[in-house]
Amino acid sequence: MTGTILIADDHPLFRQALAMAASAVRPAARIVESANLMAALNEAAVADDLILILLDLKMPGAEGYSGVALLHSEKPGVPILVVSSADASQAARNAVRFGAVGFLGKDAGLSAIEAAITDALAGKRIEVPKDDVIDPVAAQIASLTPTQLKVLLGVMEGRLNKQIAYDLGISEATVKAHMTSILKKLDVQNRTQAVLAAKALGINLVHA
Q: What is the mean pLDDT of the segment spanning 13-38?
A: 93
DSSP output for the chain: ---EEEEE-S-HHHHHHHHHHHHHH-TTSEEEEESSHHHHHHHHHH-TTEEEEEE-SSBTTB-TTHHHHHHHHH-TTS-EEEEESS-HHHHHHHHHHTT-SEEEETT--HHHHHHHHHHHHTT--------TTTHHHHHHHHTS-HHHHHHHHHHHTT--HHHHHHHHTS-HHHHHHHHHHHHHHHT-SSHHHHHHHHGGG-TT----
The pLDDT, as a whole number, for residue 128 is 57
**Is pTM, for the whole model, over 0.85?**
no
- Give residue limits of the domains in the chain: 4-121, 135-201
Binned at pLDDT 50, 70 and 90, residue 181 comes out as very high
CATH topology of domain 135-201: Arc Repressor Mutant, subunit A (1.10.10)
Mean pLDDT of 172-201: 86
Q: Which of 164, 86, 180, 93 is nearest to 134 (CA)?
A: 93
pLDDT score, position 86:
80
Could you tell me what percent of the chain has a pLDDT over 70? 89
Superfamily of domain 4-121: Response regulator (3.40.50.2300)
Which stretches of 9-88 are assigned E, i.e. beta strand?
30-34, 50-55, 80-84
